[in-house]
Amino acid sequence: MHIVVPDEFNSGETRVPLIPEHAAKLVKAGLEVSVESGLGKKIEVTDDAYVSAGAKVFSDRNELFRKADIIVRLHKPSKEEINKLKEGCVYASLLDPFNEKELIETFMERGVSAISMEMIPRTTLAQKMDVLSSQASLAGYVAVILGAERLNKILPMMMTPAGTIKPAHVFIIGAGVAGLQAIATAKRMGARVSAFDTRPVVEEQVKSLGARFVKVDLGETGQTEGGYAKALTGEQLQKQREEMAKVCASADIVITTAQLFGRKAPVIITKEMVQGMQPGSVLIDLAVESGGNIEGSRIDKEVDVNGILIIGLTNLPGRVPVHASQMYSANMFYLIDQYWNAKEKSFNLDLEDEIIRGCLITHQKKICNEMILNFYNK
Ligand code: NAD
């Protein structure tokens, strides 16, 4: 069974999907691993390091695609790349299947088994394969560092002979994986931290990190079976905005991370709310790629609105690519290791298995994922 890791050509991608440490473990488990020459360059990992790990290094990208039994990658392929794969090949990466119907159909027609890493269930058993969590915690960390760097103030309180400096106020909206890491980072840096989430269970987690939980009575909110937030009604969202506006007015940094699984992110901060903030404040929209939580945020842009900065930079984990690669690579290793049968030399895509049922989108020339099928047939 041959695992292939082609280089990423997405603009600005700095992460690497498989590092030598995990390549070595896969080789030890009886798999053959081949990588494209230059794969590790962005994180200072040489081709020789992969060779020392027992992998082979190839320069001919087409040859790599042709020989793959399993492709390990960060991003979705082009249609041309799918057409180079042999029937029965497994392709595992982030795939954005809700928005990529055509690509999913190409996988299906070609007989490629597509694994969408964002669809790995959020369960205890699957935690070690969960790339959304591993990358989101880094994004939360980087968001605070970025905000601190752009802010024209310091974060901690400072008592000096020249006077006392008050701590900066950081407000985090959405306290999932990224939000909780952002809270912890801002607290460590000495800021005063407030946070809000529509899932009531989060209040305890926010408080345990030493932050203030902003209480808003929105009536029934709750979460889905998978632990994701439910969408608010128009009325609830309006009420949320009114309460958030008050907190934003006193915040120096606002970080929004509010997402709705498989749907467009809710707009929580309106233009009027931005205008109600103090000049010099910084907003960071971590949901910018799924529609944005902040009106006026733009993908990969920093927008200045009367002295208030709205940051919509994407791929924040890519700003710490060594650790982002290390975690993504570990997630991939655990996924393969879990389903690799060394005795039979086969990769078991068992649709009875809860994790496989969640993340496998196409198999044996069919779309086999129930959630995606329902979504496409809506
Ligand atoms: P996410 O990225 O889907 O959303 C981020 C946060 O935004 C969530 O906490 C959500 O409740 C919140 N949100 C949505 N709409 C909002 C609004 N209008 N205002 C404020 N906040 C809003 O979430 P995530 O970080 O991927 O986590 C999703 C769930 O998965 C959570 O329940 C988390 O605990 C769970 N999880 C479980 C595991 C595990 O058990 N292995 C691992 C990771 C995450």
Please write the tens of the pLDDT for every residue from 325-355: 999 999 999 999 999 999 999 999 999 999 9
Pick from 17-31, 210-224, 310-324: least confident: 210-224
pLDDT exceeds 90 at position 64? yes
pLDDT at 224: 80
3-state secondary structure of 132: helix
Residues 261 and 326 in one domain: no
Domain that holds residue 39: 2-119+321-368
Residue nearest to atom 44 of ligand 1 (CA): 122
Which residue intervals of the chain are DSSP H helices?
20-28, 47-52, 61-67, 79-84, 101-110, 131-150, 177-188, 202-208, 234-249, 271-275, 321-339, 354-359, 370-376
Average pLDDT over residues 43-54: 98
Domain contains 62: yes
For residue 253, how many C-alpha atoms fall within 13 Å in the half-sphere facing its CB?
30
Mutation probe of ligand 1 site: the residue of 141, 197, 204, 209 with most atoms within 8 A of C-beta: 197
Counting every residue, how long is the chain? 378
Residues 185 and 42 in one domain: no
Give residue 32 CA to ligand 1 midpoint distance, Å: 37
Residue nearest to atom 32 of ligand 1 (CA): 227
| Structural domains of the chain, count | 2
- Binning the chain into helix, strand and coil, the percentages to the nearest 5 are 40, 20, 40
pLDDT at 263: 86
Q: How many angstroms separate the CA atoms of 79 and 100, rounded?
A: 11
Is residue 133 among the annotated active site residues? yes
Domain contains 66: yes
Ligand 1 atom index nearest CA of 202: 9
**Which residues is 284 bridged to in the sheet?**
255, 311
Domain contains 173: yes
Residues 29 and 115 in one domain: yes
Annotated catalytic residue within 37, 61, 96, 127: 127
Q: In what order do the strands lie in the sheet with 2-5?
A: 56-58, 32-36, 2-5, 70-72, 90-93, 113-116, 360-363, 366-367
Residue nearest to atom 37 of ligand 1 (CA): 122
pLDDT at 217: 86
Q: How many angstroms separate the CA atoms of 90 and 96, rounded?
A: 16
Is residue 78 among the annotated active site residues? no
- Ligand 1 binding residues, C-beta < 6 A: 122-124, 127, 130, 132-133, 136, 173-179, 196-199, 202, 227-229, 232, 240, 257-261, 266, 268
Residues 359 and 268 in one domain: no
* pLDDT bucket at 261, cuts 50 / 70 / 90: confident
* pLDDT bucket at 274, cuts 50 / 70 / 90: very high
Q: Which residue has the higher pLDDT, 234 or 255?
A: 255
pTM: 0.95
Domain contains 377: no
* pLDDT bucket at 244, cuts 50 / 70 / 90: very high
Ligand 1 atom index nearest CA of 231: 15
Q: Report the CATH number that the domain containing residue 147 is assigned in CATH.
A: 3.40.50.720
Q: Residue 241 in contact with residue 273, Cβ under 8 Å?
A: yes
CB atoms within 10 A of CB 25: 19
Q: How many angstroms separate the CA atoms of 168 and 151, rounded?
A: 10
Residue nearest to atom 13 of ligand 1 (CA): 258
